[in-house]
A and B are shown apart, each in its own frame.
Chain A
């Protein structure tokens, strides 16, 4: 379990984030935070399969995309309440992860990368080809927005969406911390580091991989549903390589053996890329800067940003389990 110091740092971070909208009224800054929360959910849940269990799953963004399109189709085509549509995104993402995990669980290394990447391409082609349902390459627009009773989230300068995004991130972190500190979470690290030894201690390697992939898709899919409901758009761009590489850089820079590393990296990288986009000459170079940062972190601190902060004796440290 995270020690008191770690817990304090995490609570302080979330308390500070909860206060942001009270002092930051600029809706664009709030928007950046919301996008950072979404990325933080994607990256930290990806870390469950990639970092904790060692499954080289390159189809994680597909779970997000499935969440996006589930919420979009459910709310716009079937008129389902957007709150429920968001949750449905988690359900369909988990179901698709379960289907993907069955063949992947017994594969190793590059074959896992190939199959999961092929899966993401398959889903993308499905979205593009079924344009009467998904809108094809143009996607779906003007999706229903969130409402809470008579309160509309549409004209409050993103105040409501900010707190929904933050709540989603908080719930996702609680879920991941619980999983990581459970016997199941520890068994994932056992499977990752010593497959034969794990099997000789009664752990079904295939079963743990299937569960890790499925669990990692739940909040990722819900985040997809939230993203679609927030932007009111479902676009095939969510399956793009740019989104995938940015989320992967958050996992690797944040730290693959942690719960909160990717969360921290998502917050830092979202604002860093946005800041660089505003600098003349850096508009296109920002992704190169992120790539260089990723290489430097992997070279100098392979355990990631959180571990580096721990070594510098800063309060946020690796959640060692």
Chain B
């Protein structure tokens, strides 16, 4: 089996004349936490979209997950294969309770029977420290942090091989970001590879073993997170030219 769980080769996504992602290539090693950073509009979320097929695949290029080419697979198949993502904005099933959100994720993504899914729900809630009394609440009535917890729990319940998190710390308070930091470390130690887009630099530097910086749809720098953030080009592009 490949040492790399995910391999991207020459991935492009064009919207007419706009090159949102242009010839991006990188690999994610099994078991690591790889951070992705970049200024707004640099193509981070588009990159996540084309990898996961939600809502579109790449214009060209290859995406391989656990050795298999997946860039023409429908989104639900990619997710069932173990490559599960979260969304930058609050994604929710407003008519479903937190419990039913996990039930649906476990049933479809995890391909579990209902009794098996029910048995796993409690563990998934506990893994993100989700409040006992909030579990039967309709998702639309949850707080921002609870919605983030639920989105991560709904990803974890199917025991993914690769978890892709799109700015999970946005809108969170400092203590909540610290709890998220702990959670990511715990999840990673349980054997889940993590690909993390984040603007909160402290979180990225704390949890990532490697860091990629995108700018204008292309890879600007990659390597050890502490070295990458000192790269003059990165400082110019990502941090707005401060030295």
Contact = CB atoms under 8 A, between A and B. Distances in A.
Interface in B88-112: 91-96, 100-101, 103-105, 107-111
6 contacts: A190-B96, A193-B93, A196-B55, A197-B93, A200-B87, A201-B154
B91 A189 contact: no
Nearest to A195: B55
B117 A183 contact: yes
The 3 closest A-B pairs by CB, nearest first: A202-B109, A202-B108, A199-B75
Contacts of B117: 183
Contacts of B96: 186, 189-190, 321
Interface of A: 182-183, 186-187, 189-190, 192-205, 257, 320-321
B178 to A, nearest CB: 27
A321 B100 contact: yes
A202 B93 contact: no
Contacts of B95: 189, 192-193, 257, 321
Given A183-B114, A187-B108, A257-B95, A199 B87 contact: no
Contact of B94 (A193, A198, A205): A193
A186 B95 CA distance: 9
Interface in B148-194: 154-155, 158
B84 interface: yes
Contact of A200 (B54, B101, B111, B114): B54
Contact of B104 (A186, A192, A199, A204): A186
Given A186-B103, A197-B87, A202 B79 contact: yes
A190 B138 CA distance: 12
Contacts of A320: 138
Contacts of A182: 114
- If over half of A's interface residues share one DSSP class (helix, strand or loop), that class is named, otherwise mixed; here it is helix
A199 B93 contact: no
A194 B111 CA distance: 20
B104 A190 contact: yes
Chain B CB within 10 A, most for which of A182, A199, A320: A199
Given A190-B101, A203-B76, 20 more contacts: A183-B114, A186-B103, A187-B107, A190-B93, A193-B93, A193-B94, A193-B95, A194-B93, A196-B54, A197-B93, A199-B54, A199-B74, A199-B76, A199-B79, A201-B105, A201-B108, A202-B105, A202-B158, A257-B95, A321-B96
A4 to B, nearest CB: 16
Given A190-B96, A202-B80, A183 B91 contact: no
A108 B39 CA distance: 33
Interface residues of B, number: 34
Contacts of A187: 104, 107-108
Nearest to B164: A200
Contacts of B158: 201-202
Chain A CB within 10 A, most for which of B74, B80, B107, B154: B107
Nearest to B138: A320
A202 B109 CA distance: 4
A204 B91 CA distance: 17
Chain B CB within 10 A, most for which of A193, A196, A200, A205: A200
Given A183-B114, A201-B104, A189 B93 contact: yes
Contacts of A194: 91-94
Given A189-B95, A194-B92, A203 B104 contact: yes
Nearest to A189: B95
A204 B104 CA distance: 12
A59 to B, nearest CB: 25
B22 interface: no
B210 interface: no
Given A187-B107, A201-B105, A202-B108, A196 B94 contact: no
Contacts of A197: 87, 91-93
A200 B74 contact: no
Nearest to A183: B107
B91 A196 contact: yes
A144 B63 CA distance: 62
A204 B74 contact: yes
Nearest to A190: B93
B76 A186 contact: no
B85 interface: yes
A201 B87 contact: no
B118 to A, nearest CB: 10
B76 A205 contact: yes
Contacts of A196: 54-55, 75, 87, 91
Given A186-B100, A186-B103, A198 B93 contact: yes
Contacts of B92: 193-194, 197
A232 B53 CA distance: 53
Nearest to B91: A197
A320 B114 CA distance: 19
A183 B52 contact: no
Contacts of B55: 195-196, 199
